[in-house]
Every structure is written in structure tokens, then in C-alpha cells.
Structure 1
Amino acid sequence: MARLLDKYEELVHAEVQAVAARFDLSVFPKVRVADVLEPETLGVTGALKSYALASHFDFVICRNKFDTAYAIEFDGASHAAPKQIERDAKKDRLCQIGDFPLLRINSQHLSKRFGPMSLLAWLMEVHEMQLAFYEAQTRGEISPDEDFDPFWLMSMDPGEARFPYSFAAKARYKLQVLKKRGKIVDGHSSGFVGRGTDGVLHGYNFIRVTPETAITVKSSMRPHRFPAPLMELLDEILAVLLTEEVDLYLAGQIGALPVAEVVKRWTSLRSGLSMGSTHTAGFEGFPPPERRT
């Protein structure tokens, strides 16, 4: 007998089920795309219609037992193949036409490297709390001027992290401690997150360890048809990665770059990006902080 899920999909299913239990969600694996996004309703024909009838979502998440909310796709190594890229594009297009949220993940999203929960769990949980926040605003329970910020959500449960949705809280605090101990020059990082013309998010972070040298990290995040604060999440990930690199530097395992080279890279990497946020520790010869949307 064939298995419905492969080993990685089984891991995703377990992670999704754990979050679903907390928020009274239902999880259905291997659901036909046409049963969620009806071709006749969408008005699609030809190749798109055929694909919808023949393909499936890895997981469909429902509220109220059977009301479809969004889908999750696990993109393994095979998704780099040209034919699979074409299929994925068709699925993305159907979700775009149907205005249906789709979260594409890979094995990195199952790791707990960055905090007390996986990136997949973080995205799902933050999405649910974001919806609850906006519903509370609609009912007048929260001021309409207040913005949703998952990084300031505090847990009161014993044994849980104080700020469970702030991956970088401990990392940022560690950098401040290292500065106070005279191990590095800056207690805060400098960096930016911006969006390319293809929708991909790109981020760059650095921190001076001496007046003339700095440690840097960069990372990217693919675009998602999923309502979550992805720019902010990438900035959190960068802060964790940067602190790990600072640890390696202090252990003598890596070197640092001249600040002039770091600023040059900053300028080059920002070129062509639509800036989401920029922050600097502030030192002579560096561009001032800015924030644009």
C-alpha cells in the first residue's frame, strides 16, 4: 500500500496539527485544487483548468471544521526542476485569481534554529493572532490606531519564553551585553530589508566589533501569498544570524571586514530594492536612518 505522505510531508503535518489544535483549525492533506478553487467559479479554462482538476494542495487549513482558510505547500528538492516550477506557477496563478492564501515552505521552516518554535509554527500562529487582533479592533476592544506587532506579544505561561514571537530578543540583548563588556563597539546592529522587483525580500545586517571593522550577514526570503509580517520576520532572522557570526568572531574562527567595505556592500545591495526598513547604530560617514514603504 502506498503512503499518503512522504517523510517530510509527515513532519509538516505533525507541525501543522500542533498549531491547529491550539487554534481550533482543521487540517486536510492532499486536497484537490479544484475542490478548493472551482475552475468554473474562477472562470479559468484550458491548461489552468486541467491543472486544477488534476493537482492537489499538500495541506488545506480550515476554520469551523470545513471552511477553507489557506493552503500550505511543502517545496522539496524536486521543486527546482523546470517542469515542477511550471506546475508551481500554475498553482500560484490559480491562488492569485481566487484570492486564496498559499504558504510555500521548505525544510528550513521546520527547524527551530531561530527561536522556541519553527518558522512554520510562527507564521501560522502569528496569522491567527493577527486575525483575532483585527476582529477585536472591529468590535472596538482595541484602538483603531494601534498596529499589530507580534514581537511585543508576551506569554504569561510558566515555562514559555517571555516574548515567544520575538526570535531575536535574546540575540539583541546579547549584543548589548557584549558592548557593555567591551567585546564589541556597537550594542545595536545596522541593516535593512527591501523588496526586489521579483517580490523576493533581501536583508543585510552588520555590527561594528572595532571602530574600523564589522561583522556582516545577509539573507533572502521568497515572496508568499500569505498575510504575515515577512519583512519583520526576515529582520529577526538576520539579527539571530548576526549574533551567531559575532560569537564566531570572538572565538577567533572568522575575521571582520573594514567598515568602508561594509558600507560599500550596503549601498550595492540596496540598489534596485524598494526599502521596507533601514536602521543604523549611527556613526560618521554612514547614511542616516530611514524608513519607506
Structure 2
Amino acid sequence: MSNLKKILNLHEEATHLRLRDVCEKHGASIFSKVRLADILPIEGSGISDAEYKFALQSHFDFVVSNDTHTPLFAVEFDGPLHTNEKQQNRDKIKNKLCRKFDFPLLRINSNYLKKAYRGMDLLSWFVEVWFAWGWFEKAQASGEVPVDEIFMPQMMINIPGYDKQFPLMLSAPIRNKIQKLCFSEKIIDMVPSHIIGRSDDGTYRAISYIRVTKEQGIIVDTAMRSQDFPVSQVDALDELVTFQLYEKLIETLESGVGLIYLEEIASHIEEFKKKYEMRRAFSTSSSTTKGDPLCL
């Protein structure tokens, strides 16, 4: 039996498979365990001796390149060891070097792999949005898309490899189900409301809420760490928090447990606005009637 070590552990192997499935459709390749010094132009760059040594000795878990083998971005899988102080310091140096050389770095954990949203895990969504953003920029440069149009991944009608329309709008089926609950008079609001903010440490946070009766509703919250990757965490949270809200909504409707008064929801919203820098907010029109505690 060979005593040689495997190049990838189980989580890294899963990451590689997901990356391959997405990237090959776009003519991109994936390389594993590539030294930072083989990607980043560190020679004569002015970085410190310690950073230079780090770049020579450290690697990216995965590097994605185009068909000319030009690096596009890197992906790091942060397992349990990334919670200790020594590894966190190494991660900070790697993040700093990537920012200096303007090289996108996506950091993921098992949450980006283990759950599918409309058939797409979170890692695949981030990478698909990255490629869609590249197409969008080229379309603007060629005049196919107006230069003042804002890129919204949820509005992409088609992308390679998916037969669904608007495949990057992960919450589309969930939003349809929420509308049907409203039409059947099981809840008051037709669409959920949400607020997304950013904390001082760069973490993105979101709350989503919906009225079930005229007096009560439900509220959920979630968060996502900041990324050195040109895909909006606000867009990602917008999708994820909708799933979380729907799961709690169904549980509440089936059990009758979990409803809180609208005044309490309003209090949560006010506290959220005080603590975090606002990045996006949407309030359903049915929650803006006179005397409604959610009319903030």
C-alpha cells in the first residue's frame, strides 16, 4: 500500500468537482495547490520580506484560469483549522497579498457545498455570477448593453448549462410559493421584506420578515462574511434569507408556533438599523398602510 499523501482532502475534492462542473462550461481550467509566487507578481513589488517568503512557501487551494492559462481567481476552502489564531494570521497575509495585486479570492466553507438552492450550491452560484459579470462587462463594452445599466445577476435570463430561466435567482420558486400562500389567505403579505446591512468587521447581515396575520408575523436573520471577490454578498444574502424565511414560515403555519407581534418585529428592525450600515432594504407595500407598526 502506498504511503503517499493525497493531494486533496475530502472537502477539497468536493470543491474541485463543483468548480470543474461550473468552469469547464466557460472554457476555464482549475489547478490545485498553486504557489502564490507562481500567480502573484511579487518580484520588485515592495512587499515585506516576510510577505515575500510567505508567497514563496504558501499555496492557493485552487486557481481558476482562462483558456490561455491566465489566472482569473482563487478559491480557498476554510476548514476547522482556520479557526485557530496561527491559521487566521496566515489567512490575513494571503488576503492582503491578493488585495495588493488585485487578484480575486473566494473563501468558502462546507456551507457553500452542502445545500442546493434551486439545484445550485452556493459555491456554484458565486462562480456562475462571476462569469456572468464578465459577460455583462463585455456586452457593455460592445454596446449590446447600455453602459449605465446595473449588473443584477438575478435578472440574467439564461446561462450555459441551465435550462431554467433566471437561474441565478435562486429564490424564484420560493417566492412563487409565498405568493400562493398569500392568494390562499394563509398569510397577509405577498412577498417578504428584508434589510441587509454591514457590520464594522465587514460581515454582511440580513433580516427578513413577513406578516402572517394583521397583528403577527415572523422574522429571521442570517449573515455572511465579507469576501475579496467581485460578487455582491448583498445579492447572495437576498437569496439565502428568503429560503430561511420560507422554511420558518412553513414550520410556523404547520405548528402554530413562532409568531410574534408586529411591534416586536418593528423593534428588531430599528435595532438592526442602529447597529449596521444599511446596504439594501425592501418593504412590501402591504406593510406600509397607515397605523401598521412595520411602516417605519
Q: Fold match, TM over 0.5?
A: yes
Cα distance, 1:22–1:94 mapped onto 2, change above 3 Å = same
Aligned length, in residue pairs: 288
In 2, Cα distance between equivalents of 1:174 and 1:270: 29
Q: Do residues 221 (structure 1) and 229 (structure 2) align?
A: no
* Cα-to-partner distance string for 1:235-285 (whole Å, 9 max, x where unaligned): 111111101111101110632111111111111122232211111122323
Corresponding residue to 1:121 among 121, 124, 140? 124
Corresponding residue to 2:168 among 165, 169, 173? 165
Q: Do residues 236 (structure 1) and 239 (structure 2) align?
A: yes
In 2, Cα distance between equivalents of 1:151 and 1:189: 16
The aligned amino acid for 1:256 is L
* Cα-to-partner distance string for 1:99-149 (whole Å, 9 max, x where unaligned): 111000011111343222111111111111111111111111222232222
| Contact 2:263-2:294 within 8 A present in 1 as well | no
- The Cα RMSD (Å) is 1.7
The aligned amino acid for 2:190 is G
| Contact 1:26-1:62 within 8 A present in 2 as well | yes
TM-score (norm 2): 0.92
2:82 is matched with which residue?
79
Q: Do residues 286 (structure 1) and 294 (structure 2) align?
A: yes
Displacement of 1:151 after TM fit? 1.0
In 1, Cα distance between equivalents of 2:146 and 2:17: 37
Gaps in structure 1 of 5+ consecutive residues: 289-293
In 2, Cα distance between equivalents of 1:110 and 1:100: 23
Gaps in structure 2 of 5+ consecutive residues: none
Cα distance, 1:226–1:176 mapped onto 2, change above 3 Å = same
Displacement of 1:38 after TM fit? 3.3
| Contact 1:26-1:65 within 8 A present in 2 as well | no
Corresponding residue to 2:200 among 174, 188, 197? 197
Larger CA deviation: 7-16 vs 185-194: 185-194
Q: Do residues 89 (structure 1) and 97 (structure 2) align?
A: no
Q: Do residues 24 (structure 1) and 32 (structure 2) align?
A: no
Aligned-pair identity in percent equals 34
In 1, Cα distance between equivalents of 2:168 and 2:49: 44
1:52 is matched with which residue?
55
| Contact 1:116-1:161 within 8 A present in 2 as well | no
TM-score (norm 1): 0.93
Corresponding residue to 2:255 among 242, 252, 255? 252
In 1, Cα distance between equivalents of 2:194 and 2:237: 11
In 2, Cα distance between equivalents of 1:117 and 1:159: 10
The aligned amino acid for 2:200 is T
Larger CA deviation: 4-13 vs 278-287: 278-287
| Contact 2:76-2:108 within 8 A present in 1 as well | yes
